Amino acid sequence: MRTPVLAPYEELVSITGDQGLPLSRVEEMRRKYGVNTITPPPREPLWRQYLRKYDDPIIKILLFAVALSALVSIIRGEGLLDTIGIVIAVLLSTLIAFLNEYRSSKEFELLNAHRDDLAIKAVRDGHPVSVPSREIVVGDLVLLEAGDGIPADGWVVSTDDLTSDESAFTGETEPVAKGVQDRLLKGALVTAGKGRMIAGAVGDSAEMGVIAASLGIDHATLTPLEQKLEALARIISSFGYGMAVLIFCTLLVRGIILGEITGLTITTVDVILHDVMLAVVIVVAAVPEGLPMSVALSLSLAMRKMAKANCLVRRLIACETIGSATTICTDKTGTLTMNQMVVIEASINRPVHAGRFPETRAEWITLNAAVNGTAYLEERDDRVIVIGNSTEGALLRWLREHALDYLQIRRETDIIRQHLFDGRRKRMSTVISQDGRSWLLVKGAPEVLASLCTESPDLDEVHALASRAMRTLAFAHREIIDDDEAETGLIWDGYVGIRDHLRDKIAESVATCQRAGIRVRMVTGDNAETARAIAAEAGILQGGTVMTGEAFRSLPPDEQVGAADELDVMARAEPLDKLLLVSALQKTGAVVAVTGDGTNDAPALKHADVGLAMGIAGTEVAREASDIILLDDSFATITSAVWWGRSLYENIQRFVLFQLTLNFSACILIFTAPLLGLPEPFTIIQVLWINLIMDTLAAFALCSEAPHPELMNNQPISHDAPIVTPFMWLSIAVTGLFLIVGGLLQLATGFLGGSTPTEIGTVFFAAFIFVAVWNGINCRALDGKMPPFFRGNPTFFAVTIFIVAVQVLIVQYGGVFFETVPLSLELWVRTGVASASVLVVGALLRFGYQVHNVYLSPK
């Protein structure tokens, strides 16, 4: 394996300096050192992927039977066309399976490419900017702080207690402290402190790229839904194999009794081969090979639609589980609100900077707001964008509105060190040097700072602002004596009230979730008054409790479960509180979706049934721990994800209903007809065509059904809910019996038409396909509810028309292979109309089911 090489530190510093890479040199560095994207690991060759389709046991049995059939046909000098037809059908079946798998794989890779679009804070031409990760080049000066993912290999050029988690590379669990000129690795995570780095190697040249180049193919694990479907497939396959063995033995005994099997002759071999092929036909008809493919197709469609709705699905399981969510624990800032914090009220009239040592409270607050933070403002497309913390951004906007340049104030101030904000301390402090004296500037939660001041301030006005749904932030300072930087003995300076307005239609989205049986709970670091006001405005507060994180964590574990069940809002929450809440809710049987954006949210995101990270404000750690990334950070997007998750589950159920109905009826027909002395209902090639409809075309048609509004009026799907509902079992039994009885009558009497045995069999074959097509309409309705007939799924009707057209061509012109004869227009019309009677069966089933639910089911 080759060794990654970083561009020399001295050379990069000479190019970048303190002002960052000049914009004029960005393209030059990209051409010289490459782009910041990693080439995917080598994939298995396409020819090998295709050949793997022949590992399927059914395909192997068919190929073996084809070989025997070819041998007998050559010896007898006839029947070779049948063998060629079967080979073509096998080739077509394996090719379609391969193409569908290849398409799903490419779409998943395309979705994962969004990872390289995540925003990185950098400095170019002396200005802080936000650029996509893929656009970082060697020589870029990157700003790092706790929670950030490192976008490239590089060198540390400044550090303030910067530590990095490199466990993915070294296996060491402890974060590594980084000093100037120390090396940082792409893909590692900043766990504490802040600093700057110069990118020295990007993309494939970084260590992560070198490692990725040596990796093989990843093999995805089965999701719970796929496991359920495979279990169902095993049961059905066992039924098919049992039927195959039973009919083979029965026909073998019958052949001996009737004298068809008399010794080792070509006739005997031909009869036994025919019986084997018939057994194979039953296996082919029974085994639901299309189930895994329908899951892959449904997931592919759902992921693509969810991506368009600003949901980047990182783990396939999330597509299924989000539809089962019973509660959502959501952050406030940026998720419920617009993440555009604005200072609305303050304890001072206006910020003031006199260009000298602060003497008034207004001057201390101004200095604190300017230097005690890590955020920046960037002008982009005639808009001012906050790079970093949105609350700090609101303070910088406030200064800007009063014609104060925060960057100038920072340049004039000798900043010694900073202690960054965290959820436990709920404050941030910065040590500065002024006129030979050191000072500690502190900002944070008002009640926290008040408890650290020498004189306790009156917080009535602060509480009043909080009751108006404002986030309150207090400022304090003190002089540092004898190097004592403890955040105690502070002098209170004042406060501001910051408002972050709710996003559009948040109350409507919350109400939609509540109608769908999903309880929304808000978890926020704001105080109880602010949290209560925001929750009430958003419609989250619905008679439940408002509890602080401290009160919740102080409860015994068994009482936490009861408290969690009653809780609507958790205020002053720390990351550990969110994890405790998720665990307690899961103990009640809830399926929990949780949002998070910070490094400390990672445990809760991991532990939740579905973790939803913020794509804009979220740290790399949070995104890595999540199942879904909300690209717009909006709660309304979660509602959309739930909608698509439920639609995914329904679409798979539709396909299962369609396939099991045909499987059941085809197997019974193939088994029963010979025992009754009737002609065999299907040839091998006909069964393969039917199987092709069941496994591919029907999956594509039924899995394309669009979500309907009624989905969000239903209760969540339980984790242990069976794939096949009682209504589906009833529909399979009744519709299957209808097909069996009708099919046997046609084979015995030709009541639908046909004057010769071949014509009667052809009408039967055409009618069976037509019934399957009509029954596809029935399968669109689940549990007695039919979606809008012509809206929402044009693919269904396009595929249906295609199947009918191909069936007509097969019958009219494919008689050599399919053993059919052309039918007259009258017979086609009669077959089509008669087969449509299955729609009446479906309508009666739905009517009966609705009557049962309204009048007979227990209330």
Give the C-alpha separation, 286 to 256, whole Å: 27
Give the C-alpha separation, 628 to 173, whole Å: 26
DSSP result, 787-826: PPSSSS-HHHHHHHHHHHHHHHHHHHH-HHHH------HH
Amino acid at 546: V
Q: What SS3 state is found at 305?
A: helix
Report the DSSP pairing between strands 519-523 and 327-330: parallel
Report the DSSP pairing between strands 176-177 and 327-330: unpaired
The percent of the chain in helix, strand and coil, each rounded to the nearest 5, is 55, 15, 30
Q: Report which secondary-structure segment, H or E, holds 650.
A: helix 635-675
CA distances from 591 to 328, 472, 585 (A): 9, 33, 8
Kindly give, in sequence order, each residue whose CB lies less than 8 Å from that of residue 519, ignoring residues fewer than 6 positions away: 326, 327, 328, 513
Under 8 Å between Cβ of 314 and 626: yes
Give the C-alpha separation, 368 to 432, whole Å: 10
Under 8 Å between Cβ of 597 and 334: yes
- Asked about 182 being catalytic, the answer comes back as no
Under 8 Å between Cβ of 147 and 598: yes
Q: What SS3 state is found at 595?
A: strand
Is the C-alpha dihedral spanning 58, 63, 295, 664 positive or negative?
negative
DSSP result, 418-452: EE---TTT-EEEEEEEETTEEEEEEEE-HHHHHHH
In the set 153, 204, 331, 493, the catalytic residue is 331
Query: Cα-Cα-Cα-Cα dihedral of 567, 571, 572, 573, to 10°?
Result: 40
- Which structure tokens are listed for 406? 């925060």
Q: Report which secondary-structure segment, H or E, holds 830.
A: helix 825-835
Q: Please give the backbone phi and psi of residue 595, each rounded to the nearest 5 degrees, phi first.
A: -100, 155
DSSP result, 266-295: HHHHHHHHHHHHHHHHHHHHHS-THHHHHH
Q: Please give the backbone phi and psi of residue 380, each rounded to the nearest 5 degrees, phi first.
A: -145, 120
User: Could you give the count of Cα atoms lying within 13 Å of 496 in the half-sphere of its Cβ?
Assistant: 27
Give the C-alpha separation, 246 to 106, whole Å: 43
Q: Which residues pair with 521 in a beta bridge?
A: 329
Residue with tokens 């994962």: 112
Length of the chain, in residues: 859
Kindly give, in sequence order, each residue whose CB lies less than 8 Å from that of residue 351, ignoring residues fewer than 6 positions away: 362, 365, 366, 369, 398, 399, 402, 404
Give the C-alpha separation, 613 to 632, whole Å: 10
Give the C-alpha separation, 766 to 314, whole Å: 44
Active site residues: 331
